[in-house]
Amino acid sequence: MKRFFTMLPDITRSLFRRPVTENYPAVQSETPERLRGALKWDPSTCTGCGLCVMDCPAEALELTVLDRKAKRFVMVYHVDRCTFCGQCVMSCKQGSIVMNNQSWELAALDRNSFATIFGAPEDVKEALANKPEDGAAKSE
C-alpha cells in the first residue's frame, strides 16, 4: 500500500498527459524524405548495364535483358535480402533506381511475397519462362 502512495503522483500526472506513444497503424506519421524504403525501378531510363546487380552486396537484384535496344528488361528485387545500403542507387548512373520513402511497411506472411518483379507483363512472362521455378512473386 505504501508503494501505491509513492506512485500516486505519477499515476495522477499520467491521467492528464497526452500519450507518448503513436497510435500506429491507425495514425501514420510523415516519413522522413531520406528514409531508405523499398526500391523503385524505372525501365525507361535503364540501359541494362547490370552495374546495380554487380554492386549489390546482398544479391538482392536480378536483371534479365531480353532486348537492350527495345529496353525490354525485367528486374527482380528481393526485399528480404536487401540491406537498404543504397549502393545500387549510387551505382546507377542513369538514376533508374530510387529508394521509395513511402514504401517501408514490408512485413509479409510468406517468403515469396518479398520478391517484386518489375517489367512489362509480357517481358516478365518471357523472363520467368526461362528461369527455374522458385515460387510466386508480385509484379509491378
Residues that bind ligand SF4 (CB under 6 A): 39, 46-52, 56, 58, 60-61, 63, 82-88, 91-92, 94, 96-97
Of 61 and 66, the one with the shorter C-beta distance to ligand SF4 is: 61
Q: What's the per-residue H, E or C state across the chain?
A: CHHHHHHHHHHHHHHCCCCCCCCCCCCCCCCCCCCCCCEEECCCCCCCCCHHHHHCCCCCEEEEEEECCCCEEEEEEECCCCCCCCHHHHHCCCCCEEECCCCCCCCCCCHHHHEEEECCHHHHHHHHHCCCCCCCCEEC
Of 44 and 130, the one with the shorter C-beta distance to ligand SF4 is: 44
CB of 81 to ligand SF4, least distance (A): 7
CB of 135 to ligand SF4, least distance (A): 19
